[in-house]
Amino acid sequence: MIVKICGITNPEDAEAAVEGGATAVGFNFYPRSPRYIEPERAGGIRTRTGVRRVGVFVDETPARITEIARIAGLDIAQLHGEEKPADYPAGIAIWKAARVTAAFDLPALESSPAEALLLDGPGSGLMFDWRVAAGSTRRVILAGGLDGHNVAAAVAIAHPWGVDACSRIELAPGKKDFTKMIEFLQAARAAMGL
């Protein structure tokens, strides 16, 4: 099971996330994101053995994903673009992400050969109807608007494989609020039986 803190940009936030019980940390390699981190800087942020290192990408080439994964020491590429399975890079686990909007098509997404599907809200920090995820036959990671106040309800409704928090546990983009982050981690771990 996955409890992920995304948008890590500095060693202090990564250390607090891991100490608080995160099983995965995410680094955003989309240059237009306010949480963008250079691959070399991400590679210098150490995490405990067993904590999965996830790279967030949007419409990046497989060759560049492979290069960044090597530099940053990634275990997983989380793909948020229009990638098709033929575009997935080899040699790294894939989490295929999709925003749950009115046009969302879960059955079409479920044919992806990705390790997991990450279902995100329709915009940064926005929630979606978690019942959509409950119908999946695949490993699902819930994202979008999760924090310590609502993650237990999300888990109870969707029964996901994992949960992911970012913007609602921040002081500012790329800087975590340790109190909110720990509240989320404790609530998520308890809800998921970890």
Q: Is 166 a catalytic residue?
A: no
Look up residue 78 and give its two tokens.
């989380």
Q: Is 120 a catalytic residue?
A: yes
- Out of 120, 147, 164, 166, pick the active-site residue: 120
Q: For residue 32, which amino acid is it?
A: R
Cross-strand pairs, 28: 36, 56
- Out of 6, 13, 147, 166, pick the active-site residue: 6
CA 32 to chain centre: 17
- Give the residue ranges of DSSP H helices in the chain: 11-19, 39-43, 62-72, 106-109, 131-134, 151-158, 178-191
Q: CA geometry: angle at 53 spanning 18 and 107, to 5°? A: 115
CA distance linking residue 194 with residue 191, whole number of Å:
8
φ, ψ for residue 59 (rounded to 5)? 50, 45
What secondary structure letter does DSSP report for 36?
Answer: B
Sorted by sequence, the CB contacts under 8 Å of residue 125 that are 6+ apart come out as 144, 145, 166, 167, 168
Residues with active-site annotation: 6, 120
